[in-house]
Structure 1
Amino acid sequence: MATTIVTIPPPAASIELDSRPLAAGSDIPPINTRSHTFSAGDEESSPLDDQPPEGVAVFERPNVSTVKGKLLSTNFAVFISGMNDASTGALIPYLQPAYDIGLLFVALVYLINFSGWLVAAFTNVHLTARLGMGGVLALGAAFQLSAYCLMFWKPPYPLFVFSFFLSGLGLAYQDAQANVFVANVNNSHRWLGILHAIYGAGALLGPLIATTIATRTTHWHYFYLVTLGVAVINLGMLAWTFRRGLFKGVATAKESANRDLKKALSELTVIVLSLFFFLYVGTEVTAGGWVVEFLIRVRNGEPSRVGYVASGFWAGLTLGRLVLADITHRLGERRMVFVYIILALIAQLIFWFVPNIIANAVTISLLGFFIGPFFPTGISVATKVLPRDLHVASIGFASTMGQAGSAAFPFLTGAIAANSGVKVLQPVLVGLLAGMAIFWALIPRVARHSS
C-alpha cells in the first residue's frame, strides 16, 4: 500500500506570534514553532498530540527541575505573606491597649493596607514591563522589608499605620508575580496548590509566633523583628534566583503594557475572577484576623488560650490546599468549588450558632479546610480561559485585586464592630461565602481560550 507524505507549510501568522514576547518582562518561556510530517493512514502511531505541525504556535511550560530555584524563592515570598496577613489579627488584643485606641482605629491598619494592594493592582503590569518579573519581585521584597523596619520599634501610631501601606504594596507585587510564574510551569494545578499551601503554612506560623511573643514578653512589636529577619532572607533569595535580567524589562512590552492592561480589564472573566478572589481572600483574612477577638469578646475566652485558634484556621486552610488540589482537579474544578462552598457554609453556621469555644475552634478549622483550594483553583481556571499573552496583566490584576480583599473586609468588619460588636463577624462571613458562589457561577465554561 502506497504511503503519501504530506508536508504542512507554516502559516504566515506564525511569524507574528514568534516575534512578539509572551508577556511583559516575563520569565516564562517564549512561543516557538515545530515542523512535522505524517503518513496517511498512520493516525494511531502519529505523535500529533505531542508534535504539532510546522508553524503552529506552541507554548512550552518549563519543567520544575529547570526553575526549581525560582520556584523555591517565590514559595518563600508567599510564605512570608502568610505570616504577615495572619499575625495582625492575633496582635489586635495587644495593639489596642498599647496605643490606647478602639476597634475603628485598629481597622485603619487594614484600610491603609488595602490602599497598597490597590496601587499595586494598577501598576504591576507597567513595572513588570520596565523591571521584568525578577525586578518587580525584588522591589516588592524591598518595600516589605522597609515596612518591618518601621514596625518593630513601635513607632507613633500614624507611622505604624503607614508601614502597612508599604507592606501591602510589597506583598502585592510579590503575590502577583509568584502566581503568574507558578501558573505557567508543568502541572501548574499541583504547584499552585503547594504555593498557596505554603502561604497557609506561613499564616499558621505567624499567629503562633506573634501570640507567644505577646504573651511572654511586654514587647508584642518584637514579632516584627522576626519578620524583618525573614524579609532580609527573602530579598536575597529573590535577587539571586532571578539575577539574570534583573531589573531589565522588554522594550516592546513597555509599549504594550497599557494596551495589555486595558485588554485584560475588557475581559469579563478577569472582572468576575477579580471579584471572586476579592471576596475569597476577604473571607480568609477576616475569619483568621477577627476570630480571636470574637472568641474573647463574645465567647469570653482567655486571650492567652484562644490566640492559638487562629492558627487552627490557617492549619485547616493549609491542609485543604495540599489534600484537595488533585481531588479538585480530577473531579472538576467548577463542580468541586460549589461543593466546598456548601460545606464551608455548614461549618460557618455551626460556628455561629453553637456557643462553645472548643466546637468553634473545630469548625473554624473546617472552614479553612474547605475554602483552602479556592485561590489556586481560580488561578488554574484563569490560565485555561484567558489568552496566554494576557496572563501577566490579567492574572496579576485579578490576584492583586483579590488580595486587596484581605484588607478591605477586615477593615469593614472592624468598622462595623466598633459600633455593633464583634458578633457581626458571623453574618459577614456567611455573606462573603454566598457572594463567592454567585461569582463562581458567572465564570464561563470555556475549555480554553484561543489566543
Structure 2
Amino acid sequence: METDRDSKANPKGTDEINEITDEWNSFADVDPLVDPPTAPEESFEIMEDGDLRDPPLSRDLIRDVEWKGNILKLYPLDYRKVPMVKYQVLASFIMFAVFGFNDQSVGTLLPTLMEYYNATKVQVSNIFLIQLSGYICASFLNERVHNSWGMRGGMFVAAALCIVFFSILMSKPSKLPIFMFCCFPLGLGIGILDASCNVLVGNMLVHKNELMGIMHAVYGCAAMLTPPLVAHFVKWGHWSMYFVIPFLMSVIGACIIVPSFRFETAAKYHYICEQDENDNPELTPDATTSEQPPQKESFLSLLSMPPILLYALFLFAYLGAEITTGAWFYTYLLETKSTDQIKMSYIASTFWIGLTAGRLVLGFVTKRAFSNEYRACRVYCGMTVFFYTLYVLVGWINSESMSYLITLSLVMFCCGFFIGPLFPSASIVAVQVLPNKLQISGVGIAVAFGGCGGAILPYSAGIITHWIGIEWLPTICWLLVAIFSVIWMLYPKYIKGHDDAL
C-alpha cells in the first residue's frame, strides 16, 4: 500500500525512469566520433535567467539536411558538445606542427645542404622561392579545391602531398634540383593547410581565440625543436632522416582527417556558402536554399580596402621578420660565434621557445591588461623593437664566453616572446574591423600576401648577406620589425569607424 501511495504521489517517477532507460539504450547506435559511447553523466548548463537545464546531447545537435539531392550533416563547431569537432581541431594542431617542422627545416639545414650538394648560399636560398611558388598557387587553388572536394578533400590532399614528398626527402635526394622540386608541392600542401586550419579554428563557436593561440603555439613549438633535432641528425651523419618526423606526423594527421572530416563534402561547402553564416552560425534544416551567393569582390578591389591592405602589408613584413630571424639565425651563429653545432642549435631554439611562450602567455595577458587587441599589439610591437635593438647591439660583440651566449639567448628569447602573439592578435583585429561578408576573403588574401613575405624576405636576406656579410643579419631583421611596427601604428589613421577596436 505504501508503494502505491508513493507512485500516486510521484506520478513523474516512472516517466523519468523511462527517459533514463531510453538514454542508456541509445548509446549502442551512436557514432564514436560524433558521440563516444560513454555513460550519461549528471551535468547542467546555466541559462541566462539563472535556471539549470540538461545540456543537449551531441547527436541532438547533428541534423540531416537534404539539399539539391544531397544529404548533408550539419552541426555547430563546438568541440564541447560535438566530439567530432575535437578530432578536427586535433588534426589541425598536428598539421600545424608539420607546418612548423617544414618551415624551420630549410634554414637550419642550409649549411649542411651547401656542403652536401656543393652549392652556394644563393643557390640553396632558391628553396625559399620554390616553396613560395607552391604557397602562392595554394592561395589561388584553395577555393577551387573546396568547391570540388570540400574541406575534407582539401585537408586530405594537403596531408597526402606532405606524406609523398617528405618520404622522398627522407631518401636523401642525390641532386639539389630534386630536393628543390619536392619543396613546391610541400609549399602547395602547407598553403592549403594554413588556410583550411585557420578558417576552421577561426569559426569555432567557443574559445576561438584560445584555440587559435594554441594552434600557432604548436607551430612555434615545432619550429623551436627543429634546430637541435637537425643538429643531432647531422652529427649522426643522416641529416635526411630528420624528415621522418614530419612524415610520420603527416601520416597520423591523415588518419585523423579521413574520419573526422568525412561529412565536410563539397556539397556541404556550397550549402554553407549560400547561408547567412553571421546571422545563423548553427545552420538549421529549414534554412532557405534558394539564395544566390553574394557578389564576389575582385582581388584588386579587396586589396585596395585599407583594413585588408594594412593587414596584408603588416603580415608581409611580420612573417618576413619572423622567418628571416628563425631561418638564418642558426647559420649566423655558426659563422660569427662558434662552430659548435650542438651548442649553437640550442641557442637558435631560444627564439622559437620565446615565440611559443609568448603566444601561450600573452594571449591571457591581453584580455586582462588591455582594453583591446590593437592596443596590446602596440605595446608588443614597441617591446619587439626594443629587444631587436638589443639583438643588433649584442650581435656585434664577438665572444664565445658562457656569459655572452647566455645573454644572447635571453635577448633572442625576449624577441620571440613579444613578436609571437602579434600574428594571432592581428588576425583578431582584422576580423573586428572588416565587414562580416569580407572577413574570409580579406583575411585569406592578407595571409597569402604575408606568406609571400615569409618566403621573399628570407630569400632576399640570404642574397644580401651573401654580398655584405652574415654579420648584418640582425640589422636586416631590425629593419623589418621597424617596418611592421610603423604599419601597425597607421591603423587608426586609415581605418575609420572602429574606435572600440582601435
TM-score range normalised by the length of the shorter chain: 0.7 to 0.9
Choose from 448, 453, 459 the match for 1:400: 448
> What is residue 218 of structure 1 aligned with on the other side?
237
Q: 1:257 to 1:170 in 2, by over 3 A?
A: farther
> What is residue 367 of structure 1 aligned with on the other side?
415
**In the TM superposition, what is the alpha-carbon distance from 1:256 to its structure 2 partner?**
5.4
> What is residue 346 of structure 2 aligned with on the other side?
308
> What is residue 379 of structure 1 aligned with on the other side?
427
Q: Are 2:359 and 1:321 equivalent residues in the alignment?
A: yes
- SS class of match (1:307): helix
Gaps of 5+ in 1: 1-43, 46-59
| Paired AA for residue 469 in structure 2 | G
The superposition leaves residues 288-309 of structure 1 with CA deviations (integer Å, 9 ceiling, x where unpaired) of 1111111111223422210222
> What is residue 110 of structure 1 aligned with on the other side?
128
> What is residue 376 of structure 2 aligned with on the other side?
336
TM-score by length of 2: 0.73
Q: 1:244 to 1:62 in 2, by over 3 A?
A: closer
> What is residue 347 of structure 1 aligned with on the other side?
387
Choose from 64, 70, 73 the match for 2:88: 70
Q: Are 2:180 and 1:161 equivalent residues in the alignment?
A: yes
* Cα distance in 2 for residues equivalent to 1:251 and 1:98: 51
- SS class of match (1:142): helix
**In the TM superposition, what is the alpha-carbon distance from 1:397 to its structure 2 partner?**
2.3
> What is residue 277 of structure 2 aligned with on the other side?
none
> What is residue 409 of structure 1 aligned with on the other side?
457
CA RMSD across the alignment? 2.6
Gaps of 5+ in 2: 1-47, 50-74, 275-291, 398-403
Deviates more, 1:72-81 or 1:204-213: 204-213
Conserved? CA contact 1:348–1:367, under 8 Å: yes
Conserved? CA contact 1:90–1:207, under 8 Å: yes
Listed as ranges, the matches of 1:412-423 within 5 Å are 412-423=460-471
Q: Are 2:186 and 1:149 equivalent residues in the alignment?
A: no
**In the TM superposition, what is the alpha-carbon distance from 1:202 to its structure 2 partner?**
1.3
Conserved? CA contact 1:295–1:357, under 8 Å: no
| Paired AA for residue 81 in structure 1 | F
Conserved? CA contact 2:130–2:183, under 8 Å: yes
**In the TM superposition, what is the alpha-carbon distance from 1:212 to its structure 2 partner?**
1.5
Conserved? CA contact 1:106–1:414, under 8 Å: no
Q: 1:242 to 1:266 in 2, by over 3 A?
A: farther
**In the TM superposition, what is the alpha-carbon distance from 1:324 to its structure 2 partner?**
0.3
Q: 1:228 to 1:308 in 2, by over 3 A?
A: same
* Cα distance in 1 for residues equivalent to 2:265 and 2:363: 32
Q: Are 2:187 and 1:182 equivalent residues in the alignment?
A: no
- SS class of match (2:231): helix
**In the TM superposition, what is the alpha-carbon distance from 1:240 to its structure 2 partner?**
2.1
Conserved? CA contact 1:146–1:166, under 8 Å: no
| Paired AA for residue 207 in structure 1 | P
> What is residue 12 of structure 1 aligned with on the other side?
none
> What is residue 279 of structure 1 aligned with on the other side?
317
Q: Are 2:115 and 1:97 equivalent residues in the alignment?
A: yes
* Cα distance in 1 for residues equivalent to 2:293 and 2:137: 20
Q: 1:327 to 1:252 in 2, by over 3 A?
A: closer
> What is residue 426 of structure 1 aligned with on the other side?
474
The superposition leaves residues 94-146 of structure 1 with CA deviations (integer Å, 9 ceiling, x where unpaired) of 11110111110121111111111112222223322332222212222222223
TM-score by length of 1: 0.81
* Cα distance in 2 for residues equivalent to 1:447 and 1:191: 25
> What is residue 59 of structure 2 aligned with on the other side?
none
Higher radius of gyration, 1 or 2: 2
**Which structure's relative contact order is higher, taking Cα pairs within 8 Å and 6+ residues apart?**
1
How many residue pairs get matched?
Answer: 393
* Cα distance in 2 for residues equivalent to 1:359 and 1:151: 36
Percent pairwise identity: 30
* Cα distance in 2 for residues equivalent to 1:338 and 1:152: 43
